[in-house]
């Protein structure tokens, strides 16, 4: 959600390029033969749709804006929140989720656990019956979770909760708002405890999470602590193998928007670890967090399909993660953001046949495998040392000589088949591409090989 007067995500998207991601630590990296390149999964370009500010039933803006205004106390946040609907109904969630399912759209859908201090999803949500709350949570679980990662967007997305009492701190200042200054100077353990509190509420209502989303400026002045706290909290609450977090958005410029694999350790042992930072490549051009703007679908991709931020990023071959806010998609019941997004998807479908919609969990897993798998080329085989398993792991082998025959692990071999084009690649297949071979396999954790003809 946008801050005032200058939001974290707006700052990162400002003209002049994005600033560096401060103090992030890559950690360990394996040895890799230079003639082997890890490509995108199935040699396609990943897409993902990142939705912020969503939760069950509560229209976050209606209840958040007066709290933001009280914290700033300078006339900011003068939106007429009383005219906003109290609820974003489940019927809208259903129509959105079903349409996205028909078009293969995947991504991340926040569920704020204690939205704007209205009530906790695992206890009471005043204004709605227990049956209505249970039905809304069940809809997220059954309709959204198969294609969308569920993230807590901290606890309330407004005031900071005192973990000792479960109530908001009494101070109504920026230092006690999740969106602004609370994390500055906090330790890894302090931030991890706060993330764990949010994750536990969602675990209590059977919404599984493998990552978190930061509201506004959460993490400002504590980026290394935030990354390590995400790793710690997701592992503690959900036993997540590869935690990830969404905080950064670069809506223009040449800065890479590929996921960043951080704090990798233990790659050769029984407990490999890392955390992945997911980066959005667009601004929120579907109507803005407070529904104060008209959607701008042409900024994603123009009607003639020739330009736009998505065309630029897809042309670079980097994952294109679109950013939006649920409140802007709903647009106070007018659904302008939803219609704009539908048009963007139609344009993408009209131009491209090499895209792959992915959940953030799957994108994080692929990038962790891409960065952290050791690959050695020997005379008649490629040897993989993978800390994590990874579906559709795809490599390009330069000047390969003879073709690959099989994937082998622990003495068991699975034949590989040749396909005519890159677009035909699926796991267990290979194709010729220029002077190289491109091979896609379901990579197991541990040691395995691709065997070439002798």
Rounded distance between C-alpha atoms, residue 363 and residue 135, angstroms: 30
Phi-psi region of 60 (alpha: psi -120 to 50; beta: other; left: phi over 0): alpha
Classified as helix, coil or strand, 182 is coil
Please write the tens of the pLDDT for every residue from 396-412. 999 767 899 999 998 89
Q: Which residues contact 187 (CB under 8 A, 6 or more apart)?
A: 225
One domain for residues 347 and 428: no
Query: Rounded CA gap, 138 and 56, in Å?
Result: 10
Q: Are residues 381 and 361 in the same domain?
A: no
Residues 312 and 391 in one domain: no
Report residue 248 as tokens.
């950064």
Q: Copy the structure tokens of residue 232.
A: 């710690």
Cβ burial 317-351 (10 Å sphere, 16+ → b, else e)? ebbbbbbbbbbbbbbbeebbbbbbbbbbbebbeee
Among 341, 365, 389, residue at a domain's last position: 365
Instruction: Assess whether 59 and 156 both reside in one domain.
Output: yes
Of the three residues 317, 338, 365, the one that is the final residue of a domain is 365
215 and 178 in contact (C-beta within 8 Å)?
yes
In a domain, 243, yes or no: yes
Looking at the structure of the chain, the number of domains it has is 2
Give the range of the structural domain holding residue 308, as residue numbers without chain letter: 8-365
| Residue 3 falls inside a structural domain | no
213 φψ region: left (φ > 0), alpha (ψ -120 to 50), beta (else): beta
pLDDT at position 411 is: 84
Which residues face 440 on adjacent strands?
A: 394, 429
Written as six digits, the tokens of 224 are 């290394």
Q: What is the DSSP letter of 372?
A: H
Residue ending a domain, choose from 365, 400, 433: 365
| 1 located within any domain | no
Residue 157 placed within a domain = yes
Query: Which residues, given as ranges, of the chain have pLDDT below 70?
Result: 1-23, 400
Is there a single domain that holds both residue 248 and residue 396?
A: no
- Asked if the structure places residue 438 within a domain, the reply is yes
Q: How far apart are CA 108 and CA 212, in angstroms?
A: 10
**What span, in angstroms and rounded, lies between the C-alpha atoms of 215 and 218?**
6
Same domain assignment for residues 417 and 324: no
177 shares its domain with 98: yes
Tokens of 13: 């998207």
Closest CA to 244 of 232, 257, 230: 230
- 306 inside domain: yes
Residue listed under structure tokens 């509560």? 58
* Interatomic CA distance for residues 385 and 33, integer angstroms: 12
Q: Are residues 160 and 198 in the same domain?
A: yes
Note the pLDDT of residue 162.
98
On whether residue 418 sits in a domain, the answer given is yes
The CATH number of whichever domain residue 24 belongs to comes to 3.20.20.370
- Sign of the four-CA dihedral 46, 324, 87, 218: positive
Same domain, 172 and 263: yes
**322 plus 407 within the same structural domain:** no
Domain annotation covers residue 2: no
Cα–Cα dist 287/440, whole Å: 39
Neighbours of 29 (CB within 10 A): 12
Query: 360 — phi, psi (to 5°)?
Result: -65, -35
Same domain, 312 and 379: no
For the chain, give the mean pLDDT: 93
Q: How far apart are CA 227 and CA 243, in angstroms?
A: 9
pLDDT given for residue 21 in this prediction: 52
**Domain check: are 318 and 381 in the same one?**
no
Residue pair 151/110 in contact by the 8 Å Cβ criterion: yes
Q: Where are the alpha helices (DSSP H) in 27-147?
A: 60-72, 90-102, 130-139
């Amino acid at each position: 959600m946008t801050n005032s007067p200058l939001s974290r995500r707006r700052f990162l998207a400002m003209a002049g390029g994005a600033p560096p991601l401060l103090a992030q630590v890559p950690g360990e990296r394996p040895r890799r033969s230079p003639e082997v390149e890890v490509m995108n999964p199935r040699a396609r370009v990943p897409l993902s749709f990142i939705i912020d500010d969503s939760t069950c039933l509560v229209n976050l803006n209606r209840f958040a804006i007066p709290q933001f205004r009280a914290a700033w106390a300078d006339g900011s946040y003068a939106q007429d929140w009383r005219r906003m609907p109290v609820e974003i109904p489940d019927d809208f969630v259903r129509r959105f989720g079903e349409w996205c399912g028909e078009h293969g759209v995947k991504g991340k859908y926040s569920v704020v656990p204690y939205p704007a201090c209205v009530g906790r999803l695992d206890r009471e949500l005043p204004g709605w019956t227990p049956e209505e709350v249970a039905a809304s949570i069940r809809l997220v679980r059954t309709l959204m979770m198969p294609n969308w990662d569920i993230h807590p967007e901290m606890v309330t997305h407004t005031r900071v909760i005192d973990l000792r009492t479960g109530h908001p701190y009494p101070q109504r200042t920026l230092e006690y708002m999740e969106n602004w200054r609370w994390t500055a100077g906090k330790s890894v353990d302090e931030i991890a405890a706060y993330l764990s509190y949010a994750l536990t509420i969602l675990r209590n209502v059977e919404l599984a999470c493998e990552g978190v989303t930061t509201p506004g400026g959460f993490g400002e002045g504590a980026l290394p602590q935030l990354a390590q706290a995400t790793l710690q909290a997701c592992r503690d609450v959900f036993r997540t193998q590869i935690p990830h977090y969404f905080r950064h958005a670069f809506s223009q410029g040449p800065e890479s928007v590929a996921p960043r694999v951080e704090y990798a350790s233990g790659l050769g042992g029984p407990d490999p670890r890392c955390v992945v930072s997911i980066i959005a490549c667009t601004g929120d051009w579907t109507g803005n967090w407070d529904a104060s703007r008209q959607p701008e679908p042409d900024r994603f991709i123009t009607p003639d399909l020739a330009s736009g931020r998505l065309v630029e990023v897809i042309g670079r071959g980097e994952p294109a993660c679109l950013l939006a806010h649920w409140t802007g998609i709903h647009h106070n019941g007018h659904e302008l953001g939803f219609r704009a997004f539908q048009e963007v998807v139609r344009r993408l479908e009209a131009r491209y046949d090499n895209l792959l919609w992915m959940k953030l969990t799957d994108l994080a897993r692929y990038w962790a495998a891409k960065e952290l798998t050791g690959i050695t080329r020997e005379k008649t085989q490629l040897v993989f040392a993978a800390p994590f398993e990874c579906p559709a792991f795809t490599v390009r082998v330069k000047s390969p000589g003879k073709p690959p025959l099989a994937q082998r692990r622990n003495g068991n071999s699975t034949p590989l088949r040749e396909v005519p084009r890159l677009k035909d690649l699926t796991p267990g297949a290979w194709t010729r591409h220029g002077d190289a071979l491109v091979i896609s396999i379901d990579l197991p954790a541990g040691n395995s090989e691709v065997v070439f003809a002798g």
